[in-house]
């Protein structure tokens, strides 16, 4: 690997070397963020859904040929502005088959993780042929989310998770993986 830090490499440079996420985490994060990020990577590898580089500072884990989660390391733009650096990371989980295990989610009290970290693709709001002036409403585990794009794909996106939140994300990934494997 070159002397340049992985997370500061261009897309072209990263594409050439396809960096291992543990190396990027080790050189980029520290303290609890580093420990928690390495913990989820170990969990993903143990679960046979190992993350692989997919874009600049993004790694994707797949299950049954579809993304189950993505991890992103970010400098929040501080490196380019010269201001003091704030490093962070997030994990986005794609729970396609949540309806199959929604009762378990509610029984284990995991619904707040989903509600509190709900995210949907906003990039197509002005370009999407399914977009209307009112959007669409969806209900997730009894909570309504309003005015979403007609083709919105949603996920939960947790920024700099602590150990307790990370354990909940792991459980949701376990449930999703099981549902995908049973399909």
Digit-coded pLDDT (tens) for 73-104: 987 655 454 545 567 899 999 998 999 999 99
Give the residue from 98, 87, 68 showing the smallest Cα distance to 24. 87
- The pairing of strands 88-93 and 66-74 is antiparallel
CA distance 183 to 135: 30
CA distance 61 to 43: 11
Give the residue from 52, 65, 59, 63 showing the smallest Cα distance to 91. 59
Q: What is the pTM of this model?
A: 0.84
pLDDT at 162: 93
Reported as a single tens digit per residue, the pLDDT across 109-122 is: 999 999 988 876 55
- How far, in whole angstroms, is CA 100 from its chain's centroid? 21
pLDDT at 3: 75
Residues 131, 134, 139: CA angle, nearest 5 degrees: 95
Q: Give kind and range of the element (H or E) at residue 58.
A: strand 58-63
Q: Give kind and range of the element (H or E) at residue 145.
A: strand 143-148
pLDDT at 142: 84
pLDDT at 106: 95
Residue 31 DSSP SS3: helix
Query: What contacts 32, CB < 8 A, 6 or more positions away?
Result: 162, 163
pLDDT at 1: 45
Residue spans of the chain under pLDDT 70 = 1-2, 76-86, 120-136, 147-154
Give the residue from 58, 69, 22, 68 showing the smallest Cα distance to 42. 22
């Amino acid at each position: 690997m070159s002397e340049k830090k992985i997370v500061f490499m261009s897309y072209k440079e990263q594409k050439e070397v396809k960096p291992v996420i543990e190396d990027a985490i080790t050189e980029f994060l520290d303290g609890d963020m580093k420990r928690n990020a390495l913990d989820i990577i170990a969990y993903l590898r143990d679960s046979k859904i190992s993350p692989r580089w997919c874009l600049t500072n993004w790694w994707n884990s797949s299950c049954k040929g579809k993304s189950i989660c993505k991890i992103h390391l970010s400098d929040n733009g501080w490196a380019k502005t010269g201001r003091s650096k704030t490093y962070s990371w997030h994990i986005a989980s794609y729970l396609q088959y949540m309806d199959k295990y929604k009762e378990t989610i509610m029984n284990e009290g995991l619904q707040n993780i989903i509600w509190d970290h709900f995210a949907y693709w906003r990039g197509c709001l002005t370009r999407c042929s399914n977009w209307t002036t009112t959007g669409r409403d969806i209900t997730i585990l009894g909570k309504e989310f309003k005015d979403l794009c007609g083709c919105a794909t949603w996920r939960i996106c947790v920024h700099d998770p602590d150990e307790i939140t990370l354990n909940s994300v792991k459980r949701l990934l376990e449930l999703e993986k099981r549902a995908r494997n049973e399909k």
